[in-house]
Amino acid sequence: MERVTQSMVREKGINRIAVLCGGESQEAQVSRISSRAVTDALSKGEFLVREFEADRTLATGLLDFAPDVAFLATHGGIGEDGTLQGFLETLKIPYTGSGVLGSAIGMSKMRSRALFRERGLAVPLTYAHRMGTTFHRDNVSFDPPYMVKPESAGSSIGVRRIEGREDLLDAVNEAGLYSSWVLVEQCIPGREVQSAVLSNRFLGAIEIIPEKSEPFYTYNSKYAPGGSRHICPAPLSKGLWEDLGETTLEAHRVLELRGCSRLDTILNEEGVFVVLEINTLPGLTPTSLLPEIAAHAGLSFTDLLLELLWTARLDGDRPAVHAGL
């Protein structure tokens, strides 16, 4: 694989970079940490880099700055669900990450899982409840324990593990604070493995082992130093590694994603990777998994950012042609 260099990115006409972050998402603060890491790294080169908050001042700021590319360091909410992507399409500003449709479907766990299931990928048994209607716990046809989570939120915000049906209503109401739909899903014993795609190639995978004090891979496990143990590359047999690569690429392809994505799976006791969700704008913080997977694939943090810049485009543009990518 030929590595993308700064000179290659500049030759493509990318000099002025707007890094977008924040907004009103529950993950806004994590997004700002990603943004700071991206801005610091790219500012060391010859680019002109400026950060922008994804709020009502964004349009004016972008029009004044006139960036060549918008680097999306947004997580969750309108920054990841296709809304911001559609806004940038209207302004004709190429952006990193996936397009409008892929972003929207990727943000919706129940809709992306429907497509994954159709393509033969394993997904958890799931009951979807629409907030504003009466919740009947007997409608959940499978046995506990359960994972209860917002349908369209990330970073484990609003997620609870439930050991019995009697606690379902409280957990559903809590998750419903963050999403109009709530998922009650089968809790699957197994190993938590997360994998990544970059420029349509399988980049690698990492196994996550949360601290024993945590009931699962919680917000604290993800972002607090020492909150979890990371094993990279994930210790898998050759056959499992190949299975994971195929699963990861198929999930990326079926949603027509671009740039990068990160897939969250559980390797169950039968040796099957069960897909939980896909992340179309993975975190870029010091504890995030994509940069760690990239590092084990031989890419520095700056290398990763340059390749994401190289893939930036609008929905209607042809993808960049680059040998080896």
| Catalytic annotation present for 219 | no
214, 264, 303, 307: which is the annotated catalytic residue?
264
**Annotated catalytic residue within 113, 279, 303, 307:** 279
Which helix or strand (DSSP H or E) is residue 207 part of?
A: strand 201-210
Distance CA 202, CA 208 (A): 18
Active-site residue (options: 22, 23, 25, 27)? 27
Helix or strand run (H / E) with residue 268 = strand 260-268
Which entry of 283, 288, 303, 307 is annotated as an active-site residue? Answer: 283
Catalytic residue, candidates 178, 262, 288, 303: 262
283 in active site: yes
What are the φ/ψ torsions at residue 231 (nearest 5 degrees)?
Answer: -115, 110
Q: Is 27 a catalytic residue?
A: yes
- Is residue 89 part of the annotated active site? The answer reads no
Give the active site residue among 277, 292, 303, 307. 277
Please indicate whether residue 86 is annotated as part of the active site: no
Separation CA 14–CA 69 (nearest Å)? 7
For this structure, is 155 an active site residue? yes
Asked if 226 is an active-site residue, the reply is no
Active site residue 223: yes
Give the residue among 126, 188, 121, 180 at the shortest CA–CA distance from 153.
Answer: 180
Count CA within 13 A, CB hemisphere, residue 106.
35
Of 127, 146, 219, 223, the catalytic one is 223
Phi, psi of 83 (to 5 degrees): -65, -50
List the structure tokens of 270.
Answer: 């039968």
Q: Cα–Cα distance between 289 and 293 in angstroms, integer? A: 6
Q: Give the type of residue at 146.
A: Y
Q: Is 166 helix (H, G, I), strand (E, B) or coil?
A: helix
- Which residues are catalytic, by number? 27, 155, 223, 262, 264, 277, 279, 283
